[in-house]
Structure 1
Amino acid sequence: MSRRDWFSVRETAPGTFLIAEPGHVNSYLVVGDDLALLYDTGMGIGDIGREVRALTSLPLLVVNSHHHYDHRGGNASLVGEAKDFAVHEAGADLHGEPAPREWLETYEHIAQDMRQRYIELSALSAEGFFLTDSRIEVRRVPELTQWRIEAVRPTRLLREGEQLDLGGRRLHVLHTPGHSPDGICLWEPESGQLLAGDTLISGAFFAHVPGADVPAFAASTRRLAELPVRTALLGHNLRHREGHYFVGRVAEAFDQVVRGRTRPVRRQDMFGAPAMWHAFDGFAVLTAPENGDAR
C-alpha cells in the first residue's frame, strides 16, 4: 500500500474536515475565512500536509492536543508551511524528543496486528452481520523502515480561555489535563462543536500512562459534560463523532472510577503494559495497577 492511501478524509461538519488514519489517530482541519487550523498531525506515516493542501490554501495554524508522539507525528512535515505550532503552556518542554526507534517498531507490530484482526472481523461480518464499514476500514500498513517522528519545538504557547480567531469563527482553548498534563480541547460555542483529542475517545481511555492523572481526567470530563456540546470530535478509533449524551456518560464513568465504585480487572494495554480495566458500555477506562487490584 502507498502512503498516499493511508488517510480517509471527509467533511464531518460545515468547514470541519476529518483527516483520519483509520484505526489509529483522527486529526481535524477547521477552516475559517482567514486561517485554517489543523488539530493534531497524526502518526507521521503519510503526508498530512498534502491532505491539508487539497482542502485549503489558507495560512495554517497547527495545534497539538498534547505532546504524545501519535498526535504530533506530522509536525515535521509541516515546518515551513505552518504559521505556528501551538501547544498548551504545560507542554512547552514536552516536545523536545523524537520518538524512540523502539516505540516506532512496537507500534508497527501493533498496527499490523490491528489490521489482521480487522480482516478477520470483516470476514465474519460479511457472512451476514455487516457490522463493519468499508468506507473507513483499518488501513494496510505501508512499508515503514524510513518512518520517523521528529521533534518540532512549539512556536506558540496557549493558555486556558484563549480564543483562536480563524476569521468568521472562534475556537476557545480549554485546558483538559488527565490523559496528559498538557491536554487541550478546542470549543466552538456557536456551533456546539468540541475538538476533544484524547480527552474523549470511543475506546480505551489511557489513564494509566506516565503523566496521566485520574482525578484530573474526571474533572476535565465533568467540565466538558457541562458544556452544551452538540458534536464531540474524538481523537481515536473508527467511531470519531459523538454527542452530548456520550460526553456525560464518560464523565459519569470517571466519577465512578474515582469513587471506587467499579470492579476493574487486570489486563494489558495494546503496548503490553499492565493496566486495570474498568469496563463501561462502549468504552473502558484504564488505570495503573496498585497493590490489591488484581482479580
Structure 2
Amino acid sequence: MIDLRLIETFIQAARRESFSAAAKALRVSPGAVSQNIKSLEEQLQTRLFTRTTRQVKLTPEGQRFLQRCAPAVEALETAATEIQQEREAFRGRLRITSTTAFGRDEILPLIASFQAEHPELEIELSLSNGFVDLVAEEFDLAIRGGILPDSDYIARLLVPVTPLVCGSPDYLDRHGTPQSIEDLNGHRLIGMRSNPSQRVFAWEFTGSKPGETQRVEIAPTAIMNDPASAGRAAALGMGITQVGSNVALPLINAGKLIVLFPETAIQSRGLYAVYPSKRFAPKKLTAFVDHLVEAFAHRADLVFS
C-alpha cells in the first residue's frame, strides 16, 4: 500500500509545478517534499517529474498517474468532510434510554425543549427499569440511577439522590410515627425488589462513622419494582417506604408524604447521564447532555438538604 501522504505530496507538487510551493501548502520543508516524491517514484518504479533548476514538470507517466489518483483522493477528502459535518450537525437519530417514571416526568420535557431548538434531530426515548446494554442495544445515552460501577463509560451527575424514609400523614395517624430505625419493625413496610436478582433492597442510613453507610434488611408487606410506584403506594397509606429524594420530595412538598428521621439520611446515590466513552462523541449527544445538566442545576426541588 502506498502511503497517502506521498500521494498528497505528489498532487500538491503536480498542481503547483513546484516543490517549494507544495511544501508551503503542506507546511513541511522543501526537502521533505523532495524525499516524498523520491519515495513514491521508487515504489512505483516510475519517474513522475522532470526536474530543472527553475521548475518541475510532470512526465507523461506522471500526468496519467495524476488523472487517476487525484479524483480518488478528492473522494476521500469529501467523505472525511461529510463525516465531520455529520458529527457536528444536529440531525440524525439520538437514542436515549431511561428509567420509566423519571424519563417520562423529567427527561421527556427536556427532550421536547431540545428538539424544539433542533427540529431536524430525531430523538427516540425508551423507558425501562431494567438494565440496558448501551452498546449491544445501540443506545447513545442512558439515564441511570443508583451507585454506578467503575466502567469505561462517561457518567455526568444530573441529580444527587438521598434515600428518604417516608409515610403518609394518614398512615402515621393510624399507626403512629416511628421515632427510630428500630421502631420500623412494628410497621407495614413497602420494599423494592431488584428484577435481576429478585432481592429486596436493604434500606440505607448514615453509619456510626463519617462516610459509613448502615444497611438494614426489611420484611416488607408490599413490594414494588420501581421507586415511583413505592412512593405512590406510601402516599396512598399502604405503609412506610424508603425512596430516593427525587421521588419523595415532590410528594413531601405536596403534603402527601412526611419524611421520617431525616438526620439518618445519607446522600449515597445519584441520577446520571451515561454514555460510552468515545474520543469523538457526536456534538448532538454532548449538547443534549449539557442541556440536561444545565436544566437540573436549577432544580433545587429535587435535592434534599
Q: TM-score, normalised by structure 2?
A: 0.21
TM-score of the two chains, using structure 1 as the length reference: 0.21
Larger RCO: 1 or 2 (CA < 8 Å, sep 6+): 2
Q: Is the radius of gyration larger for structure 1 or structure 2?
A: 2
Tell me which protein shows more helix as a share of its residues.
Answer: 2
